[in-house]
């Protein structure tokens, strides 16, 4: 019996179908970006409507992050059991429900619960969508295809900020607009195919080959890829405990640490709270929103550039080129907030410029690579659970940053908070230099081979 999803695709044998799959699946990234970004603008209106203090603002913002912790862990085992495609459909469905619930909230408790629902879906999206795209994309284009997810994330954040600027204090409309891309994602995924690698893992080689013949330039290429997948697919489906096997552990270290550093270096902290920090420093509401919105627009541009560069110069080298600049921007921004903070028009302009540079290089660096690396490094038999663990690391440290940023700024001051993030970024740079491997141009099966032969870490590859 033929697979329903396979029957719906009558597209000629062309890589264009892979682009369509990546774009449609990456709409989950747009939802993730929109719903995490919109809170930064909505807090200004919510603060007036519900009379929120700093702690409650952090709880409202953290609701989506807390939900994501559960979403990413639960999706890994389910995607291994039920399939990648079905879980992407579930992502769209929960996003739709959470968007409606957030828009109709009448009290702060229900709003936090609604944000928790959105978090379940956001966490699931960060686990399953990069894995789904990575498993259908050809190796030479896998980087730019998976980075489409991150492009949609930062595009969603940008849409959120400029939508918030237009809508003013109408926070219900801000939350409700998330329903639109959720419906598009649901409709699109109905006609897209299952991951061929998941099908091989489930001993459905004929269905997998039929799909690959539609995704690759020739039947011979599809047959060769199936044969390569089968060399690693005969391993029994792994458990959480298998992630701690000595040969798998390096993938866990790299995947989880890159996810951790993407958060504790401060980028989401500033995306969530930049308008609040800027207004407390004397910026008008509109100037704070537009300043942060301009930053996210630059992140979109940098993500587009990064999506090309990661397949040309490599993931690791790209990180080594972007992160140092973000460190300098944080240090300068800390200097500008010393004493009474930015007072003159020039100093305020420099603050916004540093914010733009920092977010462009940090989000455009870590953001481009985090989901790509996390989808590539794990062996097939634990890829779902490994990607879930990496996503959990992202959301766990995002939650810590979300619940502490405003308190840190109050306790330490903006200057020392920015310098703390700069110090952590230096630690991240050292980690990348010595441990993060280069995966550019390698098949997923070749990366698995590096793990088995103890030549995975960057310093091992240089021997």
pLDDT digit string, tens, across residues 419-455: 999 999 999 999 999 999 988 888 888 888 989 998 8
Q: Given this model, what pLDDT does residue 11 score?
A: 37
Over 70: is that where the pLDDT of 10 sits? no
Q: Given this model, what pLDDT does residue 341 score?
A: 66
- Strand, coil or helix: what is 354? helix
Residue 135 near residue 194 (C-beta atoms within 8 A): no
Q: How far apart are CA 334 and CA 118, in angstroms?
A: 33
For residue 154, name the pLDDT band (cuts at 50, 70, 90): confident
Q: Bigger pLDDT: 436 or 17?
A: 436
Over 80: is that where the pLDDT of 374 sits? yes
Residue 23 near residue 145 (C-beta atoms within 8 A): no
pTM of the model: 0.71
Average pLDDT, the chain: 82
Residue where the block lists tokens 């993407």: 262
Q: Is 199 exposed, middle or buried (0-12, 13-18, 19+ CB in 10 A)?
A: buried
Averaged pLDDT, 352-375: 86
What percent of the chain stands above pLDDT 70? Answer: 92
Residue 83 near residue 198 (C-beta atoms within 8 A): yes
Question: 438: which DSSP letter?
Answer: P
* Residue 408: C-alpha distances to residues 199, 269, 285, 387 (Å): 48, 11, 22, 30
- Strand, coil or helix: what is 77? helix
- Strand, coil or helix: what is 55? helix
Which tokens sit at 209?
């080959």
For residue 12, name the pLDDT band (cuts at 50, 70, 90): very low
Condensed to tens digits (0 to 9), the pLDDT of residues 188-233 reads 787 788 888 889 888 888 898 888 888 887 788 888 888 888 876 6
> Using alpha carbons only, how large is the chain's radius of gyration in Å?
22
Q: Bigger pLDDT: 1 or 391?
A: 391
Q: Given this model, what pLDDT does residue 318 score?
A: 94
Highest mean pLDDT out of 271-280, 350-359, 368-377, 427-436: 427-436
Q: Given this model, what pLDDT does residue 428 score?
A: 95
Distant-in-sequence, close-in-space partners of 457: CB < 8 Å, separation ≥ 6: 250, 254, 434, 435, 437
2-11, 93-102, 303-312, 452-461: least confidently modelled range:
2-11
175-179, 233-237, 379-383: least confidently modelled range:
233-237
59-73, 103-117, 246-260, 282-296: least confidently modelled range:
282-296
CATH number for the domain whose boundaries are 4-461: 1.20.1250.20
Condensed to tens digits (0 to 9), the pLDDT of residues 225-279 reads 888 888 766 666 778 888 999 999 999 999 999 999 998 998 877 776 777 777 7
Which tokens sit at 111?
């709003």
* Residue 164: C-alpha distances to residues 45, 128, 172, 402, 420 (Å): 10, 29, 11, 20, 30
Start-to-end CA distance of the chain, whole Å, equals: 50
Q: Given this model, what pLDDT does residue 272 score?
A: 66
For residue 4, name the pLDDT band (cuts at 50, 70, 90): very low
Highest mean pLDDT out of 55-59, 154-158, 342-346: 154-158
């Amino acid at each position: 019996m033929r697979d329903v999803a396979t029957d719906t695709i009558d597209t000629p044998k062309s890589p264009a179908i892979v682009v369509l799959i990546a774009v449609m699946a990456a709409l989950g990234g747009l939802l993730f970006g929109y719903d995490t970004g919109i809170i930064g603008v909505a807090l200004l209106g919510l603060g007036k409507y519900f009379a929120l203090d700093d702690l409650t603002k952090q709880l409202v913002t953290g609701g989506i992050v807390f939900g994501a912790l559960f979403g990413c862990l639960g999706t890994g085992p389910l995607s291994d059991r039920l399939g990648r495609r079905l879980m992407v459909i579930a992502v769209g469905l929960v996003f739709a429900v959470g968007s409606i619930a957030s828009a109709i909230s009448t009290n702060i408790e229900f709003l936090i619960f609604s944000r928790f629902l959105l978090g379940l879906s956001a966490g699931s999206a960060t686990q399953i969508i990069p894995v789904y795209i990575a498993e259908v994309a050809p190796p030479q284009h896998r980087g730019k295809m998976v980075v489409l997810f991150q492009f949609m994330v930062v595009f969603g954040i940008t849409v959120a900020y400029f939508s918030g600027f237009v809508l003013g204090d109408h926070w219900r409309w801000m939350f409700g607009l998330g329903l639109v891309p959720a419906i598009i994602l649901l409709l699109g995924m109905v006609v897209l195919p299952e991951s061929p690698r998941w099908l091989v893992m489930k001993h459905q080689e004929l269905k997998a080959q039929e799909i690959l013949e539609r995704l690759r330039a020739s039947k011979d290429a599809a047959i060769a890829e199936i044969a390569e997948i089968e060399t690693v697919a005969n391993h029994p489906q792994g458990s959480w405990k298998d992630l701690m096997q000595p040969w798998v552990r390096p993938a866990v270290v790299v995947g989880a640490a890159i996810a951790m550093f993407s958060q504790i270096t401060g980028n989401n902290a500033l995306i969530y709270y930049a308008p609040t920090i800027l207004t407390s420093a004397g910026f008008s509401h509109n100037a704070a929103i537009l300043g942060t919105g301009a930053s996210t627009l630059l992140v979109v541009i940098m993500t587009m550039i990064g999506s090309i560069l990661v397949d040309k110069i490599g993931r690791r080298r790209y990180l080594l080129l972007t992160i140092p600049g973000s460190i300098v921007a944080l240090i300068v921004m800390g200097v500008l907030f010393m004493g009474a903070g930015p007072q003159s028009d020039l100093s305020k302009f420099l603050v916004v410029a540093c914010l733009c540079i920092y977010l462009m290089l940090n989000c455009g660096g870590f953001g481009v690579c985090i989901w790509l690396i996390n989808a590539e490094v794990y062996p097939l038999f634990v890829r779902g659970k490994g990607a879930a663990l990496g996503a959990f690391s992202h959301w766990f440290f995002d939650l810590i940053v979300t619940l502490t940023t405003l308190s840190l700024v109050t306790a330490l001051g903006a200057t020392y908070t920015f310098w703390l993030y700069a110090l952590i970024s230096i630690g991240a740079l050292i980690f990348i230099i010595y441990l993060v491997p280069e995966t550019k141009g390698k098949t997923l099966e070749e990366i698995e081979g590096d793990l088995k032969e103890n030549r995975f870490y960057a310093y091992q590859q240089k021997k």
